[in-house]
Structure 1
Amino acid sequence: MTTTLITTPTFARCAHRPWEILELAGAGPIRPEGAPDLRTADALIVGMEPITADVIAAAPRLKVIAKHGVGVDTIDLEAARARGIPVVCAPGSNSRAVAEYTFGLILSASRGIFASHQGVAAGEWPKLFGPELHGRTLGVIGFGRIGRLVAGYGAAFGMRVLAHDPYVPDPPGAEPAALGELLARADVVSLHLPADPAAGPLLDRTRLTSMKRGALLVNAARGGLVDEETLAALLTDGHLGGAALDAFAHEPLLPDSPLRGAPNVLLTSHMAACGQEANRLMGVTVAEDVVRVLAGDEPLNPAT
C-alpha cells in the first residue's frame, strides 16, 4: 500500500474531491497528529513548512513531493533532484485569491478600515482619514500571474502602475521601472515574488529607507523579502505611512517581533491564498499529480 503524508492543515479544507482522488487511487492519504512518520511516506503534500535535505533523507520510500500552492522556495529542490524525486505544485491555482486579498490589504491599510473596526468595537467612534487611490502610484515588484492581476485592479481604481521584474522587460498594462525608481516613486509598493534566503531581504535597510515618504508597503508573498526590524522602525518614526503584511520571516509571528508594536500596521496570518475556489483547485491539482507519479507517469505540473 502506498501512503500519502499530508502535512499542511489547509489541504482540501473546502472540498472533499482531493481526498477522493487519493483514496480512489489507493494512495492512502494520512494527516498525522504530531510529528509525521516520514519512514512510511511514498508521497508528501506540504504547505509552508521547510522540506530540507534532512527531511527528504528521512523518507526512504519517497517518490514525489507536492507543494499545496505555487512557490516551491521552501523545498530543497537540489536534494529532491539528487534522489530523483519529482516536485510538483499547483501553478495559477491561487493567483486570483492572492491578488484579491492583496488589494483588500491595500484598501484596508490606506483607509484605516481595520483600525476603525477596532475603535468601534472598543466603544469609540473614530473618523480616520486616508488617501484615495485614484491618481496615486502603485509599484508592483514581481510581474507574474498575481502581480499582473494586482496591477489590473490598481489600474481599475485609477492608479498609475509601475512594474519591476527582470524577467518581464515590457510589462503589459504597466510602466517598466528599475527597482530604485519604483521605490522612490510609488505610493503603494506590493511584493509578488519568491524570496532568496541566501541573498537576504530584497527590501533591506537601504531600500526601505529609499521608499517614498508616507508610502504603504504590502507583502502577501514571502516574509523573507523584507527587513522587518527596519520596517518597524520606519513605521515608528513616520517615514513610511503604513504596512500590510500577510507573510513573515518567522511564522507564526514571533511574540517579540517589533512589528507587533509598530503603528499603522495590518498583520494577517499568511492566508491570502485561502480562497475557497483556490483551495479546491490546489488540492485537486496536486492530488492528481501525486497519483500520476505514483503510477509511474510524468506529472503535469513539475517544479523541477
Structure 2
Amino acid sequence: MKLFLISPNIKALLSEKQMSQLNDVSEVILHSDITPFEQIPGLLEGNEERILAIDPDFCDWKVPNKIIDKIPQLKAIVLQTTSFSWIDVDFAEKKGIPVMNLRGFSSIAVAEWATMMMLALARKLPIIIKDSWKQDYIAHQGIELRGKTAGVIGIGNIGTAVAENCHGLGMNVQYWSKSSKDDRFKRVELEELLKTSDVIIPCVAQNDETQGMLTDDMLKSMKKTAMFVSDVHAVYNHDLLLEMVKNGNLYGYAFEDGKAKMENFEGNVWAGPELAWCTEDSMRKNAEQWVEAIVNACNGEYLTQVN
C-alpha cells in the first residue's frame, strides 16, 4: 500500500510523531510542492494499491475527474477538510472509490468568528474602521444584543455552537433546520425566521441542495433593523444584501472574502478574511483527525465516508 500525502503545508500541519504513525501503516510518498498532478512522482503509474490524502491548498480546491480516472489502484481519497464540494464525489463513487472528509474540527472556531462578526455589526465597527477610528457619538451609535432574536439557519455542529453563543449573550434564539433538532431553542419555518429575527445567521453546508436556498423575496422580507451574518456562500444573493445595506434596508451584513476590502462597501458591511476556521485549536484537531482518517483508510475503514 502506498500513501500519497499531498500538501504544501505538511510541515506546519503534522508533527514527526504523526508522520511516524503514517509510516507505520503505509509507504508514504510526500509531495509538498505545488505542481500539476501529473508531476507528482509515481501517482499516475504503478500497480500498487494506493491512498490519496490531499490538502486543497495544493490544487486550488479542485481535483479534476480526469486525474481521479488516471490514478491506478486508487482505494480511497482522504480530504483534509470538512467541505467535499471540491471533488466530484459521485464520480468517485461510480469508480468504487470512497471519499472521506473531516468533521467538527473547526465548529467552535467558526461559531466564535460568526459571533465576533455579529458583535462587530451591532457596534458598527465597519463604519468606525472606515472613519479611521474617530469618535462620533451620533454616527457610531450601535445596538445592544441582549433581548434581541437570533435566527440560526441549520442546527448542526456550527449552528448549535452559534445558538449557544447567542443564548449566552442573553439573546432569544430561534432556528430552522431540515433534519436536526434542539429542544433548547424554538424551531420555526424558514420564512418566519427571516421575517422575525434581528440577526440572521446561516450555518448550512454549501452544496447543490443549499445553493440559493434563501430567495430574494426571503431576504427582502427581513426587518430593516436586522443584521445578516454569514460564514457560508452561494446560499443567498450577496449583491442584493450589499444593496439593501447601502439603501438603508438592512442594518448590517457580514461575510468572509479573502479578496474583498471593507472600504469598498458602503454602510455597515463587514468584509473580513476567510479565517473563521483558523485557530491553534482547530489546526491541532484537524491534524489529529486527518491522520486518524488516513490510518483508517489504509486499514480499509472509511468511517467518515461522504459518498
TM-score tier (shorter): 0.7 to 0.9
Q: Could you say what secondary structure the match of 2:53 adopts?
A: strand
Aligned to 2:48: none
Which residue does 2:173 correspond to in 1?
A: 161
Alignment of 1:100-119 (within 5 A): 100-117=112-129, 119=131
Q: Deviations over 1:223-244 (max 9, x none)?
A: 1112112122112111111111
SS at match of 1:140: strand
Q: TM-score, normalised by structure 2?
A: 0.83
SS in 1 for 2:175: strand
In structure 1, runs of 5+ residues without a counterpart are none
Identify the residue that residue 52 of structure 2 maps to in structure 1. Answer: 43
Alignment of 1:267 onto 2:271: yes
Match of 1:230 in 2: 240
Equivalent in the alignment of 1:27: 28
2: distance between equivalents of 1:281 and 1:12? Answer: 16
Contact residue 109 and residue 277 of structure 2 kept, 8 A? yes
Is 2:150 the partner of 1:138? yes
Q: Which runs of 5+ in 2 are unaligned?
A: 45-50
Which stretch of structure 1 is more off in the superposition, 263-272 or 159-168? 263-272
Q: Deviations over 1:158-211 (max 9, x none)?
A: 11111000203x423211010000000011011111133476412232221111
CA 1:276–1:18: 2 relative to 1, 3 Å:
farther
Q: Distance in 2 between matches of 1:65 and 1:269?
A: 29
State the distance in 1 between where 2:11 and 2:280 align.
9
**Is 1:277 aligned to residue 278 of structure 2?**
no
Over 3 Å counting, the alpha-carbon distance change for 1:44 and 1:61 in structure 2 is farther
In structure 1, give the amino acid aligned to 2:176. Answer: H
Residue of structure 1 equivalent to 2:227: 216
1:236-271 superposed Cα distances (whole Å, 9 cap, x missing partner): 11111111112x6xxx5479xx99434211112322
**Bigger mean CA offset, 47-56 vs 67-76:** 47-56
Q: State how far apart, in whole Å, the 2-side matches of 1:239 and 1:118 are.
A: 20
Larger Rg: 2
Identity %: 24
Distance 1:266 1:203, change over 3 A: same
The DSSP-based 3-state class of the residue aligned with 2:2 is coil
The verdict on how the C-alpha distance between 1:103 and 1:149 changes in structure 2, with shifts beyond 3 A counting, is: same
TM-score normalised to structure 1 length: 0.84
Alignment of 1:6 with 2:10, yes or no, is no
Distance 1:153 1:200, change over 3 A: closer
How many residue pairs align between the two structures? 292
Kindly indicate whether the alpha-carbon contact (under 8 Å) linking 2:210 and 2:235 is maintained by their aligned counterparts in 1: no
Q: Is the 8 A contact 2:242 2:253 kept in 1?
A: no
Distance 1:18 1:108 in 2: 38
Which of structure 1's runs of 4+ aligned residues deviate more than 6 A? none
2:126·2:268 contact (CA, 8 Å) conserved in 1?
A: no
* RMSD value, Cα: 2.8
Contact 1:119 1:126 in 2 (8 A): no
CA change 1:300–1:201 in 2 (3 A) is same
- CA spacing shift, 1:245–1:105, aligned 2, 3 Å: same
